Each structure stands twice: as C-alpha cells, then as structure tokens.
Amino acid sequence: MLEVRNLAAGYPGRTVLEGVTLAVRPGRVLALLGPNGCGKSTLLRTMPGLLPPLGGEILLDGRPLGDYSPRQAAQRVAYLPQSRTAPSITARRMVLHGRFPYLSYPRRYRREDHDAVDRALAAADALDLEDRPLPELSGGQRQKVYLAMALAQETETVLMDEPTTYLDIRHQLETLALVRRLAAEGRGVALVLHDLCLALASADDVAVLGEGRLLALGGPEEIYQGGILARAMGISLERTAGPEGWRYACRLPEEE
C-alpha cells in the first residue's frame, strides 16, 4: 500500500498542496479530482518520489519511501505520466522499458520479460502496434503503448495521470474496465481524470483537491451527496439510476 500523511507537495519556492493524507489501497481505485491547476498531477508525481515532498510522509508498505532504492520502489509502484516524448523505437521496445527495474546493467532481456510485455500489450489492446515506430503512431495509439509499459512493470500499485488522454470513447471505457480488472487482481490504482462522470462510475474512493488542500475524501456516493465536488468544479452534478449503477451527468449551473 502506498500512502501519504500530512503531505506538502510542490516545487522549490512554490507549495501547491499542503496537509494531504490519503492511501492507494490494494484492490481499490482512487480517483484524484479537482479543477485545473489544483495539484492533481503534482500530487501523483510526488507519491512515488518523482518529485521530492516539501513536507509530511510517504509510506510504501508501511515503510518510508526513502528506505527503498529507486529500483526497489519501481518494482512496487508504476507511474504513467500524462504525456511523454516519442523516441524513434518500436512500440515493443518502448514497453520493454517497463522491465528496467528487474534488470541489471548491461540490460539483457529474459524470456520472462518478453512474456510480461506480451501480457501488457494484450491488456492495453496494443499487440497490433508492437512492431510500429512510436513516432508514426497517433496520440491514442501511443497512449495505449505507454499504458502497456506501465503494466509491464507488474507492480502492486499503479499511478495513472490522465490514462484516457487522446483515446476515443470506446478505448476510454476499455481503459477504465482494465483499471477495474487491476483492482480485482488486488492491485491498488490511483488515477487523475478530468471526466468526472467516468471517474465517479469507476472509482472506489474519490479525493477532491482544491484551494491548495484535500477538500474531501470518500466513496463516490459520499462525495456526490456532500456536494463538494460540484462546488469545487463550479458545476451542477446529477445522476440517474442505470442497469449497472449510477450514471452521472455534469452541466453548467446557469443551465438549471
């Protein structure tokens, strides 16, 4: 389990968030929600140590994150950024980068590494892309490759910053179904999403960020009933019952 206690996150000379306490628990999906610029991505990058915390604690399986070497931490926590450069290599070679935490130098891939990549490509619906150069792929196709790279790390915790970026609606839904499968396997998943309706329908836990702090933390029902998410986003949020649970819809307040 990855957790933060009274965390302050930001950059030298600029604190973005203070006093954040939450956890990415095994078997559960945590959605980080809030308006643009509230610190969602900053928090997600700080949790695995990619940004040094400005205060508070980060614990991985009950131990301070600093007790782990970068390689040990990368064997336990995978991070999918919102965007990255596209080097001139094939998609498969890119996904193989997800196996770096398990390799010594010089890197020599083993059969088990290639098997892990096969599983990751299949899970991300990217097997048909494996031999194509990354710069030739569309934004949505690249996003599937980057998702496969994170999955190839085979970690207990997966952090995703806007994993549905560039994806059409079908692949957005498939990605969130994959997120639910990861949780069903016992992994902890935290993700930043701008689509509130998809987030509320997919998450077990919701963290609402704003005003430089954690405004609320709870299940989707608790967050919806409290109205804090709608207020933080400046919208009207409503729902209707569907065959598979609640369906959420957002609109501007003046449309009421």
Kindly indicate the confidence band of residue 256, based on its pLDDT and cuts at 50, 70 and 90: very low
φ and ψ of 89, to 5 deg: -135, 165
| pLDDT at position 255 over 60 | no
Lowest mean pLDDT segment, chosen from 61-70, 141-150, 212-221, 245-254: 245-254
Higher pLDDT, 109 or 105: 109
What span, in angstroms and rounded, lies between the C-alpha atoms of 128 and 242?
34
**pLDDT value at residue 181:** 93
The closest of 130, 113, 133, 111 to 122, measured between CA atoms, is 130
Q: Binning pLDDT at 50, 70 and 90, where does residue 85 land?
A: confident
Q: Which residues contact 157 (CB under 8 A, 6 or more apart)?
A: 1, 2, 24, 76, 77, 78, 187, 188, 189, 190
Q: What is the pLDDT of residue 250?
A: 87
Q: What is the mean pLDDT of the chain?
A: 93
> Which residues partner with 196 through β-bridges?
none
Instruction: Give residue-wise pLDDT tens across range 112-149.
Output: 999 999 999 999 999 999 999 999 999 999 999 999 99
Task: With beta carbons less than 8 A apart as the criterion, state whether 217 and 206 touch.
Answer: yes
What average pLDDT does range 227-242 have in this prediction? Answer: 88
- Choice among 4-8, 45-49, 80-84 with the minimum mean pLDDT: 80-84
pLDDT at residue 254 is higher than 90? no
Share above pLDDT 70 across residues of the chain, in percent, rounded to a whole number: 99
**What pLDDT, on the 0 to 100 scale, is given for residue 251?**
87
Query: What's the pLDDT tens digit per position in 145-173?
Result: 999 999 999 999 999 999 998 889 999 99
Is a pLDDT exceeding 60 seen at residue 1?
Answer: yes
Cut 0.85: pTM above it? yes
| 20-75 pLDDT per residue, tens | 999 999 999 999 999 999 999 999 999 999 999 999 999 999 999 999 999 999 99
